[in-house]
């Protein structure tokens, strides 16, 4: 419902560190995990949460997974707006096709 | 000092079986008829909504209890082709002067109907405001600057 989730995803300090590692560009999981005080599966889990929050995106290179910051912006907000407008425009269409009098110049 | 975040615009297109003038009129004058009642600002249930039909006009919701809530204003008014509305919405769907978004709606004749093209641009979000609003531990402005850099680099 809100894009607060993008920000909530970053409230975890380790997850924030994971996110910060991507500031200079895309990295494979192994490089992201290097030097962090958590296991690699844990890092993968953090990346999954970041991905679900729309903050990072994932690419596969063979068996490797490469991550980068999703440049599309605050993904959660966009997703929310996307759904909102689908609903709103459908309602608008129903209304536009229902009211025969208002502004209708058709013969 | 203040990071501004620009998200990629949300674009939508829908075709309606109504001519351009009617599509424009229903979208603007009859917005209270179709705007989803579940999505509005304010605490009381929404009763209806209005767009004042001129540049600089208000667009606002009226609640069941009679109170009015401004969503923003009319930035461009070009009937029956185009209307641009500003919308100050934030994460809680509340009025927020620090969140600047605009909705650009174009009405294009398409055979016996009209294609309505909508672009919602979240032009700027004040990162520090969000940081304060979310009330998380320190470091938010930095995080959001990282994010803003990444978003703008693409």
pLDDT single digits (tens) A31-55: 999 989 899 999 999 999 888 877 7
Triad A45, B125, A2: Cα angle to 5°: 50
Contact B68, B61 (CB under 8 A): yes
> What is the rounded distance in angstroms from the CA atom of residue A8 to the CA atom of residue A3?
9
> What is the rounded distance in angstroms from the CA atom of residue A33 to the CA atom of residue A42?
9
Nearest CA in chain A to B125: A74
DSSP for residue A80: H
Identify the helix (H) or strand (E) that includes residue A16.
Answer: helix A13-20
Nearest to B26 among A10, A20, A99 (CB): A99
CB spacing of B22 vs A88 below 8 angstroms: no
Asked whether the whole model's pTM tops 0.90, one would answer no
CB spacing of A84 vs B27 below 8 angstroms: no
B34 to chain A: which residues are within 8 Å by CB? Answer: 88, 91-92, 94-95
What's the complex ipTM?
A: 0.71
Q: To 10 degrees, the CA torsion angle through B67, B71, B75, B80?
A: -80
**How confident is the model over B77-103, as pLDDT tens digits?**
999 999 999 887 654 444 555 556 788
**How confident is the model over B6-20, as pLDDT tens digits?**
556 778 899 999 999
Q: What's the Cα-to-Cα distance from B107 to each of A75, A94, B26, B104, B117, rounded to whole Å?
A: 27, 16, 11, 10, 7
A27 to chain B: which residues are within 8 Å by CB? Answer: none
| Nearest residue to B98 (alpha-carbon basis) of B85, B89, B109, B107 | B89
The answer to whether B17 contacts chain A (CB < 8 Å) is yes
A94 to chain B: which residues are within 8 Å by CB? Answer: 34
Encode burial over B9-21: b for 16+ CB neighbours within 10 A, e otherwise: bbebebebebbbb
B146 to chain A: which residues are within 8 Å by CB? Answer: 19-20, 23, 69
Instruction: Tell me if the bond preceding B80 is cis, omega within 30° of 0.
Output: yes
Distance from CA of A88 to the nearest CA of B (A): 6
Nearest CA in chain B to A56: B147
Confidence class for position A16, pLDDT limits 50, 70, 90: confident
């Amino acid at each position: 419902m809100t894009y607060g989730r993008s920000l909530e995803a970053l409230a975890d300090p380790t997850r924030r560190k994971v996110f910060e590692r991507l500031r200079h560009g895309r990295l494979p999981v192994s490089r992201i995990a290097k030097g962090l005080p958590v296991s690699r599966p844990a890092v993968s889990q953090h990346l999954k949460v970041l991905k679900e929050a729309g903050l990072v995106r994932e690419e596969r290179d063979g068996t490797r997974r490469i991550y980068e910051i999703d440049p599309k912006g605050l993904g959660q907000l966009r997703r929310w707006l996307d759904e909102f407008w689908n609903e709103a425009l459908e309602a608008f269409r129903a209304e536009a096709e229902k009211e025969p009098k208002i502004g209708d110049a058709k013969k | 000092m203040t990071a501004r975040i620009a998200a990629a615009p949300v674009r939508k297109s829908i075709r309606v079986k109504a001519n351009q003038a009617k599509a424009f009129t229903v979208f603007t004058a009859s917005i209270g008829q179709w705007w989803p009642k579940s999505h509005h600002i304010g605490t009381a249930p929404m009763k209806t909504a209005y767009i004042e039909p001129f540049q600089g006009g208000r667009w606002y919701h009226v609640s069941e209890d009679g109170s009015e809530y401004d969503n923003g204003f009319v930035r461009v008014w070009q009937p029956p082709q185009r209307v641009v509305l500003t919308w100050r919405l934030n994460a809680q769907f509340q009025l927020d002067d620090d969140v600047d978004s605009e909705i650009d709606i174009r009405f294009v004749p398409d055979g016996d109907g009209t294609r309505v093209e909508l672009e919602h641009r979240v032009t700027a979000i004040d990162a520090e405001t969000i940081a304060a609003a979310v009330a998380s531990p320190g470091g938010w402005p930095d995080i959001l600057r990282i994010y803003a850099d990444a978003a703008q680099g693409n």
